[in-house]
Chain A
Amino acid sequence: MIHKIKQSRSEKILLFFLISLFIFSLGSFFIIKNKCLFIKDHDPKKIKFIHPENIAILRAPCGNVIIELYPNISPNSVKRFKMLIERKEYDNVAFHRVIKNVLVQSGDTEYGKRESLNYAKIGNGKSKYGTINTETDNNFDFGKGTVAMARTYERNSEDTQFFILLKDAPLFEGEYSPVGKVKYGLDVLKKIKYDNKTEYILRPDFIETFRMLRSIN
């Protein structure tokens, strides 16, 4: 005959505590692991735009970044940028240079592609389209969210790379060609993988897709 031993009060409390601890640990593990948990993913179809023809959607690991392009500010740079988006050149391209809370840079279509990532040369890639001139004649506020063409130390060397500012950088006015501004989803960019010790990222995050709004409607 088996005697049932009743749990004492203190044993019940201990069991409850252990179960709670397990649930809390499991929950925390998923919360910590999921860096995108509290990031709002904006649906462009639910937003009304004044100039929908100039809206581009960058799909990053944590959601959509909705960018308005300004062809009246930098006509040639925006033309190039739109062309690259329309040809899907930016799909699966790494955010190879990320400086926490300062900027994210991507667009190396030669050495930054997911399938042919070249750590030794990333950031130095060239495209088959050639370089374009720097456009800095028009005034532009290089505030947080500005999207601008990246270049080498020489002016007029813009090609495919671009950067997005995560903080105001008024010094950049007159130096880089602005192409647009992030309207929604700056928080998504703050979750792009960065390293506290280096600007250039090992196993970086990638642009999943980059499309003009009209092509996804």
Chain B
Amino acid sequence: MKLIKILIIVLFFSTNVLADTIYYLLKIPNLEIIDIKNNNSIKTFKAKKYFKVGIKDNNVECYSPSNLLVKEKQKLIRENIDLYSKVFLNKINLRFIVLCKDLEVASIPALGIPNHPLKTIIVNINTNDYKLSRTIHHEIFHIINDQYKELFDHEKWKKFNSEDFKYQSCSTCADKFGMKLLREKKGFLSEYSQSTVGEDMAETFSFLMIENSELRIKLQNDDHLKKKINFIKSNIQLIDQNFKFIL
């Protein structure tokens, strides 16, 4: 029995010997450093080659972005990340951002994916600035939610909606991926926010982290949304009193 255990250990670790220090930290292959020295200690990487991690329904495929694309988006990414303090990022346990040009999760095209155990968000930068900004904050919320599950009670959240509304059973179960602000729909900010509780929370948080004058107008006549925003804001303040929202 002991011998079998030893063999398993040897086989398991034998693949890592030639890995680089990036792999030791992120457990993701084929990455290249973009930015590791900044105020809030978030380390940014890009895929230098295509990589695929995970198995079956949880696999993530990331294609390498060109240096030009990374250069174009780097300032925007940094501006968005700089909204979070080092203290806050340490509390939520987010350390790394991986940039891809096109991203697929379980073979479905995606703009971002969080991985809380790996302290990483993977982002598709091959999109417009609005979507990229929103995606970064959206995925960061998933990390927050995973770190502080007890704060973001899903049952409590469901009660903020009208009684006849029901979420989908998964975020990709319906063909609703729109990220634009819905001006008319009460209680929801985007098409995607109607998919699941987690996505609704993440979308709400994401809208609070970007400047949007239309949202201020929408909020004036939407009590469901006001409750949701108060819920997100008050819980985030419990994590870090000094946290600042844009809206």
Contacts and interface: CB of A to CB of B under 8 A. Distances in A.
B17 A155 contact: no
Contacts, number: 49
A171 B33 contact: yes
Interface residues of B, number: 20
Contacts of A196: 17
B9 interface: yes
User: Chain A contact residues: over half helix, strand or loop, or mixed?
Assistant: loop
A198 B25 contact: no
Contacts of A195: 17
B25 A199 contact: no
B95 A175 contact: yes
Interface residues of A, number: 22
A18 interface: no
Nearest to A99: B17
A200 B36 contact: no
A175 B117 CA distance: 14
A33 B13 CA distance: 28
Nearest to B4: A120
Contacts of A170: 36
Interface in B71-95: 90, 93, 95
21 contacts: A99-B17, A102-B21, A120-B2, A136-B41, A155-B90, A169-B21, A171-B22, A171-B33, A171-B36, A174-B41, A174-B43, A175-B95, A197-B10, A198-B14, A198-B17, A199-B13, A199-B14, A199-B16, A200-B10, A202-B6, A202-B10
Interface of B: 2, 5-6, 9-10, 13-14, 16-17, 21-22, 25, 33, 36, 41, 43, 90, 93, 95, 117
Interface of A: 99-100, 102, 119-120, 136, 153, 155, 169-175, 195-200, 202
